[in-house]
Amino acid sequence: MNARFTIEIRASMSRFTPLVAALATTLLLGACAASAPASRANAGAVQVDVPAVAHPAGETPQWWYRSGAARAAGSGAMDGRAKNVILFLGDGMSLTTVAAARIFEGQRNGNPGEENLLSWERFPATAFSKTYNTDSQTPDSAGTMTAITTGVKTHMGAIGVSAGSRSDCADSLGKGLLTWLQLADSAGMATGVVTTARLTHATPAATYAHSPERNWESDADLPEAAKAAGCKDIAQQLLDTSRYGRGPLVALGGGRAQFTNVEETDPEYDDKVGLRLDGRSLVGEWKQAHPQGAYVWNAQQLQAAANAPAILGLFEPDHMRYEIERKDDPSGEPSLAELTQAAIANLSRHQEGYVLMVEGARIDHANHSGNAYRALSDTVALSDAVRAAVEATSDQDTLIIVTADHSHTLNFVGYPARGNPILGKVKDKGGEDGAGTLDLARDGLGLPYTTLSYANGPGFTGATNQQPAGPKAYPHNPSSFDPAKGRPDLTHVDTEHPDYMQEALVPMKSESHGGEDVGIWARGPGSKAVRGTMEQNAIYHMIVQATPRLRQRLCDAGTCDAKGVPVELPTPTAFERKDAGN
């Protein structure tokens, strides 16, 4: 090789060196960019082995617990350093309900609506939750909430017990599960429960009670055989749960009648008395156990109890009112946001941290009634409550999770134009082709229809024993139906009226739950673990793993593996106070 040729090669290489370097840098950066999200997502992941089992036969309580722990740990929940946890539960809040409520709120504020977001939709972490019960493809609130509070899936109707027979008290006595509310109480944290349902209803009950049957709310509901076998009604279990520590320092909701006896006149309604037949006044017993505490039953009393160390609020004999009906309460009923603010103000005084469950319960009831207005209005009320919690807390020390227990059959259909009233009749420009002028959309019979409808329920348009054929108005609780003779003409019907009931395809006394996944939204310490599609019971494990005080209490009881992950099903009695039996 001559000198001239060598020089030319070196010159050529020198010209290409920057290009090669640039290409290498680009490839390296591309590789880093591609792997960075996965690396961040898997940061702090801890592997937990789960044995393969046959489904459903091999799904023991221990298997559910360990598999949920593996899902949470593998997503990085162990990295969480939460001091406080707030779980918001929109009962029956399907993804369709969320989407419709988002538009409903936006339009109520004078905007088209589609661009709006509910408060939790701004959270950075999202996931899907698989809601089935161990014995049912489409679940109920008791089994689903038990999965969320204990880390173990169970049968439909079960409150805080593993799968078994719904009517067998004796079988259930050895199947009690520790809830994260009781765990927190045992760990010295403050605890609270807020709901717009009865405090003894399925969702709140699953935070503190143990019963194979969700309907055993007071002693009047408890069969004699169950009493003889040793089961206790759910209302008295709210007081009994103090054996884990202090019991809930804040318990706010409806259900006065379950806590008072038939000799006690309701403080708000002179024509009502309690339901208990055993002569016990659980309100009186609560007062005796909390001499400095405050028992309240209206909004003014709740405000006056701001400095009380413990608060029991029972604002109705039955469920609390729908948001649209609160203004009609003669004594003044607090909103869900006000209940949430009161609970946080009380619990945040405790330096050990707190856990709080807040339920927007009546979303579910409105969907069961086939009345979308109330379902959407109460979903917006839940959004207000979540916003209040965000404003009262810091994402540096408080994990907030928003989810639902199950879905409903609410449908969002047609091709309504942008900004079309979400409760209104569909107006479009010729359907999917969009080639016409804006006008009422018509079905195959030439009749207008609404954007929202239900797959089943009391909105069926045939005649019933309560209302004639045609559109139905809330409240409508039929016991018999006649076949529908075609669809009604809605041209001159005000479908945006709060009492209008959306049409239902299949006649049913009560609209049913749906079986599809529901959403999970989260912010705060440990929230990065909330992603993908997960079994519902993994939510419990997200909470306990992301909260060091809860995690340590489980480890102290010997339920953790060598990596510090709580993987063994805890025995509830091991977490009771040593003097609990005295």
| Residue 548: CB atoms within 10 Å | 18
Query: In the annotation, is 141 catalytic?
Result: yes
* Residues 6 or more apart whose Cβ sits within 8 Å of residue 172: 158, 161, 164, 165, 210, 211, 212, 231
Using CB atoms within 10 Å of the CB of residue 259, give its burial: 0 to 12 exposed, 13 to 18 middle, 19+ buried: buried
Q: Which of 67, 94, 119, 141 is catalytic?
A: 141
Determine the Cα angle at 547 with ends 544 and 552, to 5°.
80
Which position has the token pair 């993908």? 532
User: With b meaning 16 or more CB within 10 Å and e meaning fewer, what string describes 174-211?
Assistant: ebbbbbbbbbbbbbebbbbbbbbbbbbbbbbbbbbbbb
d(CA 234, CA 252): 15
Residue 523 buriedness (CB in 10 A; 0-12 / 13-18 / 19+): buried
CB 160 within 8 A of CB 211: yes
Q: Is 26 exposed, middle or buried (0-12, 13-18, 19+ CB in 10 A)?
A: exposed
> Which tokens in the block code for residue 9?
């090669």
Q: Is 153 helix (H, G, I), strand (E, B) or coil?
A: coil
DSSP-derived secondary structure letter, 38:
H
Q: How do 500-501 and 354-360 pair as beta strands? A: unpaired
Take residue 406 and report the two structure tokens written for it.
Answer: 């199950």
- DSSP annotation of 510 reads S
User: Which residues are annotated as catalytic?
Assistant: 141
